[in-house]
Amino acid sequence: MGKKVVITGVPGVGKTTVINQAISELSAEGVEYQDINFGSCMFEVASGQGLVKDRDEMRKLEQAKQRELQRNAAQFIAKTEGNVIIDTHCTVKTPKGYLAGLPEWVLKELMPDTFILVETDEDQILMRRMSDETRVRDAEGYRALCEHQQFNRAMAASYAMLTGCTVKIVVNADNLLDKSVEELKEILR
């Protein structure tokens, strides 16, 4: 049985950047992880059904549909063998409020060993979102981002209570990507 590590962070915090570099450096050491993007699993089904044209539209879908897409993705990911990183969200900001990224039925399919929150200062996240022209990021202010990061910590604690997983916070500060990659590699080894 491999390790299952869930990695989350608010959009634009740079979690995918940290994951990609850590996986490639670990692979050079002979430690292999498969990286599965939860949003991509959901998007494959949602776009196949003609519900969305891009991944940023998914968080605006009706709640029941998002839940169904979550369940499908979790069932698919649960079948994956070996060491797995699941790149996803602790909570998703929808027009009707925060949606748990890993509600009970998703958690019970995945049963992660470790849950990681990638965080950094809110002003850095705002700048990263503004300079990313490839995505349709939510335009949010400093306070909204603080609330989202705080809410994510509270949800991570509840995920730990439900599964017995550990929770680790990795800071991905501006121009200190190598430091966050080192921290993540330590956890994944």
Among 5, 26, 58, 85, binds ligand AP5 (CB under 6 A): 58
Q: Mind giving me the DSSP string for 79-129?
A: T--SSEEEE--SEEEETTEEEESS-HHHHHHH--SEEEEEE--HHHHHHHH
Compute and round to an integer the Cα radius of gyration of the chain: 16
116 counts as binding ligand AP5 under rule CB under 6 A = no
Span of 77-85, 108-116, 150-158, 167-175 interacting with ligand AP5 by CB under 6 A = 167-175
163 binds ligand AP5 (CB under 6 A): no
Cβ 170 vs Cβ 180: under 8 Å? yes
Binding mask 79-108 for ligand AP5 (x = CB under 6 A): --------xxx--x--------xx------
Q: Which residues are annotated as a binding site?
A: 9-17
For binding to ligand AP5 (CB under 6 A), which residues are involved?
9, 11-17, 37-39, 42, 55-56, 58-59, 66, 70, 87-89, 92, 101-102, 128, 132, 135, 172, 174-177
